[in-house]
Amino acid sequence: MRVLVVEDDPVVGRDLYKALSDVGFTVDLSTDGEDAWFQGEVEDYALAVLDLGLPRLDGLSVLRKWRSAGRTFPVLILSARSDWTEKVEGIQSGADDYLSKPFAMGELVARVRSLVRRAAGHATSAITIGRLALDTARMAATVDGQPVRLSVLEYRLLDLLAHRPGQFVTATEIAEHLHGTAHAGDTNGIEALVLRLRRKVGAGIVESQRNFGYTLAGA
């Protein structure tokens, strides 16, 4: 799934990019508030990690603009200040969680995963849809209780569909979430990925409908 990291400190931004990429997210990185506001307005994100101390437009203003425009993706705020009044203001502006710097990267990753799960209606890291079960903490999958060995991209595709229960996801959307906007037009690659995945999990797990996209059976 695709997340937006908004952080103007290049070291912190690089560390966030690596940590979230390592656990299966596709990460877009923004370094100023105006760019972040635009990205959040026009792109489809599962979550945003938003620093408050940004150039050009501060983080709270970015958040308020997103929410006033109807953007509902979860937002985890980062701040170098631990003032409780700032935390309250962030939550009242529409943030879903708040983390003070410095923070442990493992805690941030756990919070990001939790927010994404809750936004999709899943209470724990175990997601069961029909015959398919995913353990999002271990990035593992089973079908009918039997483990299935998947590539990183194959797992990430299942994970994306599991977090969109009952929805058809287009090949273009899948390409954006797996590879970023630059590869959104590579729908042939997505079709090939689905074919490989079906060989491993069975043809009935991933359903497709022409002009609508892909979904999981039983969702």
Q: Which residue has the tokens 């689905």?
A: 194
Residue closest to 6 by CA, chosen among 81, 57, 42, 72:
57
Take residue 83 and report the two structure tokens written for it: 């003032």
The last residue of one of the domains, among 88, 119, 150, is 119
Q: What is residue 82's three-state secondary structure?
A: coil
Range of 30's domain?
Answer: 2-119
The last residue of one of the domains, among 54, 87, 119, is 119
The last residue of one of the domains, among 69, 100, 119, is 119
Take residue 30 and report the two structure tokens written for it: 């923004």
Tens-binned pLDDT, residue by residue, of the chain (219 aa): 899 999 999 999 999 999 999 999 999 999 999 999 999 999 989 999 999 999 999 999 999 999 999 999 999 999 887 677 888 888 899 999 999 999 999 999 999 999 999 998 888 899 999 999 999 989 999 999 999 999 999 999 999 999 998 899 999 999 988 988 765 667 889 999 999 999 999 989 999 998 899 999 986
* 153 and 58 both lie in a single domain: no
> What integer pLDDT is reported at residue 87 of this predicted model?
81
* 93 and 180 both lie in a single domain: no
* 98 and 134 both lie in a single domain: no
> What integer pLDDT is reported at residue 219 of this predicted model?
67
* 34 and 132 both lie in a single domain: no
* 89 and 170 both lie in a single domain: no
* 21 and 79 both lie in a single domain: yes
Which CATH number do you get for residue 184?
A: 1.10.10.10
Take residue 204 and report the two structure tokens written for it: 């009935």
H or E segment at 4?
strand 2-6
Which CATH number do you get for residue 71?
A: 3.40.50.2300
Alpha-carbon separation of residue 180 from 1, 27, 127, 175 (angstroms): 10, 8, 25, 7
* 136 and 97 both lie in a single domain: no
Distance CA 100, CA 83 (A): 9
Distance CA 111, CA 101 (A): 14
Read off the amino acid at residue 34: E
Task: Report how many domains make up the chain.
Answer: 2
* 84 and 162 both lie in a single domain: no
Task: Give the tens place of pLDDT for each residue, 81-104.
Answer: 767 788 888 889 999 999 999 999
